[in-house]
């Protein structure tokens, strides 16, 4: 269950059915080190589902890019312990980026296996969709491994439709949401 009481924009308290309390908020530069440290908490399948390949750690370049989103064209949110940035363990990351020269945004979400199945991915996805609608975009899409059934089901439950992948990449499914409807 999520609540928002006089918090800065895009901040929200989230209480999982397990009782764990998290703060959903925009990513901050100070989250870089905890994010790199918490990367080991994400299982190999979760990382493969997100990055579509095996990745052992987050490079400094990736962390820099994640923690310094361009506010005009992207949003990056974290679900973390309710502690100050730089001290909080990050359990999930969600990001949406406007594709240059289009009115489309691509999204990606990575949720730790310790938080999976708690409704956190759904709440993060809703926030990304809200951001995209606020930018008056036409579409939002994500490329998902075809065997990532939980993410495919989540996207479908929020109105995303499966469309042919433009590259025809084997093992990938593109889920797309028409934001005009």
State the DSSP string of the chain: -EE-SS--TT-EEEE-TTS-EEEEEE--GGGHHHHHHHGGGS-HHHHHHHHSS--SS--HHHHHHHHS--TTTEEEEEEE-SS-TTTSPEEEEEEEEEPTTSSEEEEEEEE-TTTTTSSHHHHHHHHHHHHHHHTT-SEEEEEEETT-HHHHHHHHHTT-EEE--TT--TTEEEEEEETT-
Q: What is the band of 13 on the pLDDT scale with cuts at 50, 70, 90?
A: very high
Residue-wise pLDDT for 123-137, tens only, equals: 999 999 999 999 999
pLDDT at 119 over 80: yes
Express each pLDDT in 47-86 by its tens digit: 444 444 445 567 788 888 889 999 999 999 999 888 887 7
Q: What is the pLDDT of residue 114?
A: 80
């Amino acid at each position: 269950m999520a609540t928002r009481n006089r918090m800065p924009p895009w901040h929200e308290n989230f209480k999982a059915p397990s009782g764990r309390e998290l703060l959903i908020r925009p990513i901050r530069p100070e989250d870089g080190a905890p994010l790199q440290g918490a990367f080991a908490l994400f299982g190999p399948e979760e990382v493969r589902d997100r990055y579509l390949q095996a990745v052992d750690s987050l490079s400094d370049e990736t962390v820099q890019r994640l923690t310094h989103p361009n506010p005009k064209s992207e949003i990056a949110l974290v679900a973390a312990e309710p502690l100050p940035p730089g001290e909080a363990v990050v359990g999930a990351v969600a990001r949406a980026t406007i594709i240059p020269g289009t009115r489309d945004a691509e999204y990606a979400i990575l949720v730790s296996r310790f938080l999976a199945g708690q409704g956190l991915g759904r709440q993060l996805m809703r926030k990304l969709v809200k951001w995209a609608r606020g930018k008056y975009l036409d579409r939002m899409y994500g490329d998902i491994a075809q065997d990532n059934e939980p993410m495919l089901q989540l996207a479908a439950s929020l109105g995303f439709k499966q469309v042919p992948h433009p590259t025809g990449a084997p093992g990938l499914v593109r889920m797309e949401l028409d934001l005009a409807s």
